[in-house]
Amino acid sequence: MLEIVGKTNIDFMGKRHVAFGVSGLLVLLGLLALVQIGTGAANLGIDFAGGTAVQLKFENEIGLEQARQALGKHGLHEAELQEFTQDHKLLIRVKTEGTLEQKIAERIVEVFEQEFSHNKFVVDSSTEIGPTIGYRLQQDALLAITISLIGIILYVATRFELRFGVAAAIATFHDVLAVLGIYYLLDKEITLLVVTALLTLAGYSLTDSVVVFDRIRENLRARRRETILNIINAGINQVLTRTLITTLTVVLVLVPLTLFGGEVLHDFSLALLMGVIVGTYSSVFVASPLLLVWPGGKGRLLSRGA
Amino acid sequence: MKKIRGRLFLVLFLSVISFYLFLPSWPSLYDRVPESVRWLIPPRGVSLGLDLQGGIHLVLEVEEERAVEIAVDRAAKAMQDLLTDKDIAFDKIERVSNLQVQLDLSKDGTVEETAELVRDEFPSYFQVSLDGRTLVVELLGSEVDRIKNAAINQALETIRNRIDQFGVTEPLLQRQGRKELVIQLPGVKDPERAKSLIQDTALLEFKMLDEDNQPGLGLPLQVQRSEESTIREKFADKVPEGSEILFESVPDPKGGVPVFSRPYLVRQGAVLTGDVLQDARVNYTEFSEVYVGVTFDSKGAKEFGRITSANVGKFMAIVLDGTVYSAPRINEPILGGRAQITGNFTTDEANDLAIVLRAGALPAPMKTIQDLTVGPSLGQDSIEKGLKTTLIAGVIVLIFMVFYYRMSGMIADAALVLNLLCLLGALSGLNATLTLPGIAGIILTIGMGVDSNILIFERIREELRQGRPVRLAVDAGYDKAFLTIVDSHVTTLITGLALFLFGTGPIKGFAVTLCLGIAINLFTALIGTKVVFDLINRRKLERLSI
């Protein structure tokens, strides 16, 4: 049997105050990012904010990759490129950035004049475009997320206990906020792909928390005499190998995708990668310790004091 | 060991079915299937979304000037109703220029009173002139802008509704510039049909035939379709004021494209329009002719009842975008709030008509600016790169599992492949549209599949460490991991279902693959791999390679 970690007995719960401090900061950062997104001050992608569309018609064929590189070289990393199958036409969509509003179309034209001097082109059109994810789509998504959160809490509450449901939901929210916050701090653009990544990591984080909870529940039934703190610690230690190996396999997929997956997929995979790491951390250091801070009466499972 | 055989059969059966369903989604393999047996295989598989394969790219312009004219027309009609209500006699009330309505009253001395009424009831109009029996009002400039803006927004909403109902997954819809709309539809098979669905104004009107004047006019019973405009010109002088000539397409008795048109003399001014519709459904008559049944809302039903009561014995034309669909005789008052639009539809045409009627009329006609085929919005280059890297990364994971869990790792790898096959088969069978968010959902479920196996294997290892014999350890491992796997999958499934039911667009695409993937995952993790272990355990192993 090949093992990366043997039997461990780490006191995870003992470090919960440090963890709460770190997590608190991450959540604050995420909330700040959320407020900034709400007020439109954050770096929102073209899907949400709209921008400028420029359509160019070239004389000769133009490679998407070269075009993307050329735009990147001149600071237009986030351009969305789409080619038309007829006539060597290229549709470039770029987010409008504050004061550069009028000039962005000119900048694109300049880039192509400089970098593709051998391939003459004409500007077919250059216009302002609205967001593709309009207000209604955003509202629908928010509703869907709220309802799924309620569903999770209810399910976990019936299978475990209310505090488990709430802890899992908080841990999931924590992970999404943390990644959002880091993205905000790095001034990365919040695109539809990043939102997809956030949803994916929410699913991942949820699974992770439930797996740990499940082991804790099993221990609570089997070891009636120990303190809750010890039981939780034991549970985390028992599933630690599984936690690490699962994380490792996911990281094995995401690291190459982040490094070599191309410019468009980079932000998506990076968000997932960070999410998986934060998710692993939170199932151990956020979801489980939260079981201890639940105020008030004792529940069905946690019937004795900590 | 009958139980094993049953489960083994189930696993094999599902693999074969999945492969069968997936076949049409893999063109190079599908093409190799001999023609003679191809009819056995479903014709459609997974289609790729706009982000992955591109589609048709339309740029449409809202004819906003027309929207304003239509609004002014409507106001003129409302002013007629108002004066009729207040018993003020008038000769004529109509739109005289883009923005102006002229009210010609019948009696002296009523113009002041009328002006005051109009001022109160129509605050968005200001008075231009007032003399004798004539009052002219004009739409305010600010109101013009508002109507234009609303028209564009309404066009966007209406088109979104229509496309959603047409069943295209994840179209792109975007306002461009002031009055242009960009629409991209992925992999649409029949672009012409899609375009007409988007662009038909779908203004449904009920108009009365002008039976007083039609007989004296001497309209031909039937003309060639190409002659419509000639007929209009020929009779232009004879058509009485307030009436117009509209045509109905007459089917060729031999079938095929209608070549004949039947002219009608119809009174201008609709007695009722489609905005009072509540629903429209395709239905069949007892002679299995297709028709569209419409239901009015309560206001429309009352109005329709009043109109039909007042006009029993007369003919009413059902007009859609200026073409008469039918002109039935009103045999009795229709009070149930329902009407039938018969015509000579194919089922597809009737379906499309029902869709556009349900989604509502466009506030103004649309003009096509651009109509092109477009490549994937993610860019072909990045898709290829991403695909290649994902494949390599996937292989790394497969190798890692074998490296870490030895033979059991191989079983897990087989389960993963089965997982992916079933998922693709299911998506293919549902003719789903795959987009990048959808692929993210697949990645998540594959990750969960790996995780389930790890959970089980770690549990089996724990049991083995405690010195249990192989077979008991495997059974105990599966038993103990069972609840964990069910709980973690169900919680994620709840998320997926909520996103599916309440989300739209890309969120929905993610949810579909997630829900399917989780269901399949539960099967492969709890039954698929177990049956292989059970098979191995028949040989009473001393040691398990795990």
* CATH code of residue A74: 3.30.70.3400
In a domain, A300, yes or no: no
Q: Tell me: do A83 and A22 sit in the same domain.
A: no
Chain B residues inside the 8 Å CB shell of A206: 488, 491-492, 495
Q: Above pLDDT 90, what percent of chain A?
A: 27
**What is the chain A residue with the closest CA to B447?**
A250
Q: Cβ separation of B381 and A65 shorter than 8 Å?
A: yes
In a domain, A274, yes or no: yes
Tell me the Ramachandran region of residue A215: left when phi exceeds 0, alpha when psi lies from -120 to 50, beta otherwise. alpha
Q: Cβ separation of A253 and B484 shorter than 8 Å?
A: no
Chain B residues inside the 8 Å CB shell of A262: 381-382, 385-386, 389
* CATH code, domain with A256: 1.20.1640.10
Least-confidence region, from A193-202, A206-215, B419-428: A193-202
The CA distance from B337 to B51, in Å, is 44
In a domain, A280, yes or no: yes
Q: Cβ separation of B447 and A250 shorter than 8 Å?
A: yes
Nearest chain A CA: its distance from B124 CA (Å): 28
What ipTM is given for this predicted complex? 0.83
Residues 6+ apart with CB under 8 A from A245: A4, B404, B454, B458
pLDDT (0 to 100) of residue A280 = 92
The CA distance from A170 to A164, in Å, is 10
In a domain, A196, yes or no: yes
Asked if A148 reaches chain B (Cβ–Cβ under 8 Å), the answer is yes
Q: Tell me: do A175 and A111 sit in the same domain.
A: no
Q: Tell me: do A29 and A71 sit in the same domain.
A: no
Q: Tell me: do A115 and A139 sit in the same domain.
A: no
Task: Give the model's confidence band at A237: pLDDT under 50 very low, under 70 low, under 90 confident, else very high.
Answer: very high
Q: Tell me: do A151 and A68 sit in the same domain.
A: no
The CA distance from B340 to B280, in Å, is 9
Residues 6+ apart with CB under 8 A from B538: B1, B4
pLDDT (0 to 100) of residue B391 = 86
- Domain holding A185, by residue range, is 13-42+134-293
A-B C-beta contacts closer than 8 Å: 232
Counting the structural domains of chain A, the total is 2
Q: Tell me: do A76 and A36 sit in the same domain.
A: no
The CA distance from A213 to B517, in Å, is 23
Type of residue found at A59 = E
Q: Tell me: do A55 and A154 sit in the same domain.
A: no
**What is the chain B residue with the closest CA to A214?**
B484
Mutate which of B62, B157, B396, B484 to test chain A, going by most A C-beta atoms within 10 A? B484
Q: Tell me: do A166 and A258 sit in the same domain.
A: yes
Top-confidence range, A34-43, A284-293, B434-443: A284-293
Q: Tell me: do A162 and A78 sit in the same domain.
A: no
Choose one of A129, A161, A181: the last residue of a domain: A129
Chain A residues inside the 8 Å CB shell of B403: 2
In a domain, A198, yes or no: yes
Asked if A242 reaches chain B (Cβ–Cβ under 8 Å), the answer is yes
In a domain, A186, yes or no: yes
pLDDT (0 to 100) of residue A38 = 81
Choose one of A111, A129, A147: the last residue of a domain: A129
pTM recorded for the entire structure: 0.74
Q: Tell me: do A200 and A80 sit in the same domain.
A: no
Q: Cβ separation of A140 and B461 shorter than 8 Å?
A: no
Delineate the domains of chain B, giving CATH numbers in brackets. 2-53+379-537 (1.20.1640.10), 65-143 (3.30.1360), 200-373 (3.30.1360.200)
Please list the ranges in chain B whose pLDDT falls under 70. Answer: 1-2, 167, 189, 251-258
In a domain, A284, yes or no: yes
Nearest chain A CA: its distance from B405 CA (Å): 7
Residues 6+ apart with CB under 8 A from B422: B14, B15, B18, B520, B523, B524
In a domain, A185, yes or no: yes
Nearest chain B CA: its distance from A204 CA (Å): 7
Q: Tell me: do A240 and A172 sit in the same domain.
A: yes
CB interface of A with B, residues 86-105, below 8 Å? 86, 89, 91
Choose one of A129, A158, A186: the last residue of a domain: A129
- Here the tokens at position B197 are 């669905």
Q: Cβ separation of B54 and A82 shorter than 8 Å?
A: yes
pLDDT (0 to 100) of residue B476 = 92
Q: Cβ separation of A80 and B377 shorter than 8 Å?
A: yes
Chain B residues inside the 8 Å CB shell of A241: 458
In this predicted model, what pLDDT tens digit does every residue of A68-111 receive, in sequence order?
888 888 878 778 888 887 778 888 888 766 545 557 788 888 88
Q: Tell me: do A100 and A200 sit in the same domain.
A: no
